[in-house]
C-alpha cells in the first residue's frame, strides 16, 4: 500500500501536488478545477482558501468528494439587487 508523503501547493505550476512512497505523484490543476466547478467568484474564493490553507482537504475534496455539493453548502451568495 502506498503512503502519502507530502501534499502541497506548487506556485510555479499552480497545482496541488501529492507525492506517495512508491514514487508516484498526482498533480491537480487548480485552474482547470475552478473553471469546471466554480460558477462565481465566491465559489472560487472558497476553493482558493482550501488550496492555500489546507491543500490536503482540497485534494481529498477533488479526488474523493463532490466539489459542486461542497461549494453549494459553504458558499453564501448575496445578490446586489
d(CA 46, CA 54): 11
- What pLDDT score was predicted for residue 2? 87
Instruction: Provide the grid cell at 23.
Output: 514514487
CA distances from 81 to 41, 53, 56, 76 (A): 17, 32, 37, 15
How high is the pLDDT of residue 44? Answer: 94
pLDDT at 11: 95
Give residue for cell 463532490: 66
The domains of the chain are located at 4-74
Tens digit of pLDDT for each residue in 8-32? 999 999 999 999 999 999 999 999 9
Amino acid at each position: 500500500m502506498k503512503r502519502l508523503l507530502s501534499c502541497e501547493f506548487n506556485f510555479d505550476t499552480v497545482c496541488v501536488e501529492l507525492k506517495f512512497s512508491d514514487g508516484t505523484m498526482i498533480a491537480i490543476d487548480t485552474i482547470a478545477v475552478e473553471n469546471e466547478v466554480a460558477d462565481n467568484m465566491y465559489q472560487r474564493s472558497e476553493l482558493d482558501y482550501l488550496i492555500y490553507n489546507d491543500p490536503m482537504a482540497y485534494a481529498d475534496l477533488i479526488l474523493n468528494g463532490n466539489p459542486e455539493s461542497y461549494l453549494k453548502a459553504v458558499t453564501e451568495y448575496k445578490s446586489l439587487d
